[in-house]
């Protein structure tokens, strides 16, 4: 439940942002961050950005999520 995913801020108005994670766009709030700006990579948990992250770390997590997705697809096929 405490999983946060990295996403990039693509729109920002006050503390209301739209973020992009692997092509999925959703709303997130930046209330918990200082000086969030468009282009920042942030960890988003339950609709809130909780910290900034580096490009490399975000990429590693996205790759892992992609791997898990393909793993789960295979898992579903195997277990029917």
Partner 1 sequence: MLERICKANKLMDKACQTLGRDINVMEVCGTHTVSIFRSGIRSTLPKHLKLLSGPGCPVCVTDQGYIDLAIELAQRDDCILATYGDMIRVPGSDGSLETKNKNNVKVVLSAEDAIDLAKENPGKTVVFIAVGFETTTPATAVVVKEAAQAGLENFCVLCAHKLVLPAMEVLLSEKNDKIDAFLCPGHVSVIIGSKAYEPIAAKYRKPCVVAGFEPMQIIEGLAEICRQICEGQAEVNSIYDVAVTPQGNTIAQRIISDCFEVTDGWWRGIGKIPQSTLKLKSQYSKFDAYERFGLTEKPAEDKTGCRCGEVLCGLIEPFDCAMFGNKCTPQTPIGPCMVSSEGACAAWYKYGRKRKTS
Q: Rounded to the nearest 10 degrees, how much is the dihedral formed by the CA atoms of 44, 47, 51, 52?
A: 60
Is 70 in contact with 37 (CB distance < 8 Å)?
Answer: no
Rule CB under 8 A: is residue 70 a binding residue for partner 1? no
Site for partner 1 (CB under 8 A): how many residues?
26
Query: Considering only residues 6-35, where is the footprint of partner 1 by CB under 8 A?
Result: 27, 29, 31-34
Give the footprint of partner 1 on this chain (CB under 8 A): 1-4, 27, 29, 31-34, 43, 45-48, 50-51, 53-54, 56-57, 60-61, 64, 68, 71
């Amino acid at each position: 439940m405490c999983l946060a995913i990295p996403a990039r801020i693509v729109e920002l108005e006050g503390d209301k942002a739209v973020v992009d994670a692997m092509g999925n766009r959703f709303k997130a709030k930046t209330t918990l961050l200082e000086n969030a700006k468009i282009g920042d990579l942030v960890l988003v948990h339950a609709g809130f950005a909780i910290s900034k992250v580096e490009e490399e770390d975000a990429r590693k997590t996205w790759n892992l999520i992609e791997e898990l997705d393909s793993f789960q697809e295979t898992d579903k096929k195997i277990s029917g």
